Amino acid sequence: MFSRFFLLGLFFAVQLGPAGALARPLDLKQAEGAIDLALQAEFAGDYQGAQKALQALIEQAKAPEESSAKKRLEKFLGGQKSRILGFSRTAKAAQIQEAFGSLEDFGSRRLELVWNRICTFRPQLAQMLKEQTLLVRVRFTKAFPEDDFRKSLTEELHRRGLQTVATGAQAHFRLQAEVRADQASKKGRRSLVEAEVSAVLRPQKPEKAAPLARMIRRRRELRQTEVQARSFAVRRAVADVVREVRYRLQNWVLSQAHFDSGADSGSK
């Protein structure tokens, strides 16, 4: 079985020409692929290998059109130190939280990979997240049925492994959400609709607790009919909001966690 560092080296062998220069301009798609491989190398404990390989790409990316991809790689490497500390056998809860947060801007898929990695050696975190309950309140809807919005939001929360409670029941957090989906236009024979979902996540206690997060997500959809476009746009914006809700609750769980720093982290 090939090591993750071998796969990382293979990627750079493709990117670099025989003279050591990039075979083609480094773009964001290639940078994201390199980050995925580097993250797998980090999971395998090869932080140094991941760092050297990405640094080689950064040093070769000198053209103006490569600046965005270069900055993306640099940002990922900027959080590597926190991941080294956070995934060590002596990591404290605050260090694990910082390691998790280092990938906040790198997509929910990678965040979930890191969360699952953390939970393999801190299983109590997964249980803590599962125990948190949400009271969902829909405050305002525009051009979209309120019941449909509430149902879409609740179903997506459940799909992401988050629990909701009925109105009047005890809950740990309150999620207040609004939707606007009245911006529609025709594009030829098709309809374009923009949906905006905003939400505020806050603890139920104390009564006037500060929000844990405020979120606004927008999505545009082009479909055969305006009804279809509105439905898809709202559902996608809802999914974006729920991903953020899950991330904020994961962070909250990490901030509340208490465990011995000497527990087995599973690091290599």
Q: What is the pLDDT of residues 95-112, one digit of tens each?
A: 999 999 999 999 999 999
Q: Are 156 and 162 in contact (CB under 8 A)?
A: no
All structural domains of the chain with their residue ranges: 4-124, 130-255
> How far, in whole angstroms, is CA 135 from its chain's centroid?
22
Q: Would you give the DSSP letter of residue 210?
A: P
Q: What size, in residues, is the chain?
A: 268
Per DSSP, what are the bridge partners of residue 222? 192
Report the C-alpha gap between 141 and 124 in whole angstroms.
Answer: 38
Q: For position 89, what pLDDT does the model report?
A: 73
Q: Band of the pLDDT at 250, cuts 50, 70, 90?
A: very high
Question: Is cis: bond before 206, omega within 30 of 0?
Answer: yes
Which CATH number is 130-255 given? Answer: 3.30.160.150
Least confident of 66-75, 136-145, 229-238: 136-145
Q: Band of the pLDDT at 20, cuts 50, 70, 90?
A: low
